Chain A
Amino acid sequence: MNTDNVIEGFFYNGGTQYKILRRTEYPQKVTAESLDQLDQWNCLRTEFQHETRGENIMGFDYGPSMGGVIESILFRMYTNGERIVSMSAFPHFKERAISIRSQPFDMALMRMERFNGFHSASYSTMFCRVIEQSMRIKTTQSTHMIRIIMMEMERIASHIFVITRLCEAASQNIAAFHLNALRERIIRLAAKAFGHRYFFGINSVGGTARKIHIDHLWEDVGQIVNEFNDILKLLSGSRIFIDRIQKTCIIERPWLSGPALRATGEKYDARMSDSYYDRIKFNVVSEMGSDSLARFLVRAREITESGKIIEQAVSQIETTKPVIETASEKSGNSLVRIETPSGNAIFYMEIEDGNIEYTYLRPPSLVNLEGFLLGMKGNVKTDFPFAYESFGIWVSELSVIA
């Protein structure tokens, strides 16, 4: 399947509409006729409506605050019995309006770290890179490698978290305990190496802001990855677990993002064309099936790849001291893609005279939430947790960045 024409982003700027196609480096103008089809990618979207009306069809609300789902969001399931006919989502309850336009870079960066705190290394790196590219700031190889290490540690922690949540949903409590302990260990490594469990405060526009401590980091990460693979073997042998996630929430769309896309057999990963990874060898993982099992397997195999990436990145670091490079241009614009643990995020920014004039951010959860809702059609209500958790959706990143 040729997915080069897939639209990954869409925004309005100065009365003109733009779209961002996969594998392109600049937004393109859009004609008025194609707008209906494009609105799905509008970052200002707050409602994901798929209402079904009809005899005996009832809408059941789940949320916005409930113990089963880790963040606040309202789901409405339309059903005439056990099967879900369609499903809507209303993620705006916990929506934050995060202002970065016209803000000093440092304040905007701290806000970006807290856009999705669980994936803060990815988003803070993306923010720094879009400014660095726009203002022609030449960052060092060590900065690139430190950022890669943070993002890959974050990926390991995030993937383990998603798999833990799947185990909890399937009452695989012992597996969940073991996985939870592994996530704790990777987060403690992050605290030891970077001074913060979620990498806050390390990135800076132009480089990194604090000295890091990465002695033995690779060995420790490698041990966690090996132990994860041992657990995976045990988990894969659990019929109860596999039965719950196999053929659950099948969804195959070219516009999905990250593990949800790669679970459809599509080998697309923003790291493939990311210059930071030019000197790093890794495999892009894909699976067939497009169901919760395939999404689980993609994540599980990516943990090994992240371990390999960290090993290579550690060996390419020249200094662990903070280094911050300065700008050679005051104005410019740029588009950056980052493969966050949940999928690729796109950030477009325009800078005028050192001031953030315009931004557009398309997080992966925006498209994956839509994918989850469409995939739930025909599933039974009890499939909900196995389906939702398999996407690794973060409601926090559906907040508005302006």
Chain B
Amino acid sequence: MSRWILRGLKKGIITSRFPKNEPETISPWSTLPVYMKNSYKGCPTDAIHNNEVDLRRCISCGRCSSSFSPSLNVNNSIILRSERYLKKSLKIYVLDAGSCGACNTELHALSNPFYDMNRLGIFFVNTPKQADALFVIGVLSEQMKRVVKEAYDIMAEPKLVFAMGACPASGNILGSSLSGILDADVIIGGCPPDPFVILNAIMNARGDVS
């Protein structure tokens, strides 16, 4: 065991200072593209209107790179409802409704020492009964619609629903969105959203940062 501790000490502190400081890094094309020059007509999801990008539709494909460049902005979410009672501690239940796997592993990354979500009072739980927030990832497959509803119904109040990534936000290029099944309180853009974007959305949804 002592060799593990020694190794840890040698590495020093690697945990981010976010949200106090700016994120140390961000995945460029997972942030919202901003207009630079010329017009671009080939967006596969019709996310661009009047040279502005709809974060719900953008699938981070980078096809528009001749006219747009990544904003590198961590603020890539829409907060429709926030819940200040969950400021101190937020327990998340993740529900994979038809994901490609990348949103799953980005959520898993939140517990790595770089992000260390526990320091911000964010935890994963293994049952929706103990959860304050339901994170829906992936497009809504027919069979998972019932499962998503059941999970939501057994959660106690107050509770928040996060539609994480372009899949539940708009259906991506792969299927149906969450809309019509549950009303999302928070929509997180990106395909997949960068871990810092996810953290930022959580903090905003519980009224931590402006």
Contacts and interface: CB of A to CB of B under 8 A. Distances in A.
Interface stretch (B73-81, B139-147, B156-164, B201-209): B139-147
Given A175-B4, A234-B3, A234-B4, A117 B59 contact: no
Contact of B29 (A72, A107, A196, A231): A196
B174 A230 contact: no
B62 A196 contact: yes
A35 interface: no
A1 B11 CA distance: 46
A198 B97 CA distance: 20
Most chain A CB neighbours (cut-off 10 Å) among B27, B65, B106, B172: B27
A116 B101 CA distance: 6
Interface stretch (A176-184, A331-339, A348-356): A176-184
B19 interface: no
Contacts of B102: 114, 117-118, 120, 197-198
B103 interface: yes
Contacts, number: 166
A114 B14 CA distance: 31
Interface string A102-121: 00001100110011111110
Contacts of B125: 67
Contacts of B106: 197
Nearest to A234: B3
Most chain A CB neighbours (cut-off 10 Å) among B1, B3, B147, B172: B147
Interface of B: 1, 3-5, 7-8, 11, 14, 25-30, 44, 59-63, 65, 70, 93-106, 108-109, 111-115, 124-127, 138-139, 141, 143-144, 147, 151, 172-175, 191-192, 194
Given A94-B143, A184-B115, A396-B99, 11 more contacts: A65-B147, A71-B104, A93-B144, A97-B175, A117-B102, A119-B101, A181-B113, A184-B109, A201-B60, A234-B3, A234-B4
14 contacts: A70-B108, A72-B95, A94-B96, A117-B192, A118-B102, A118-B104, A118-B105, A174-B5, A174-B8, A178-B8, A180-B109, A191-B25, A195-B27, A196-B60
Interface of A: 64-68, 70-72, 92-98, 106-107, 110-111, 114-120, 161, 174-175, 177-178, 180-181, 183-184, 187-188, 191-192, 195-198, 200-201, 209-210, 230-231, 234, 394, 396-397
Closest 3 CB pairs between A and B? Answer: A67-B126, A117-B102, A117-B100
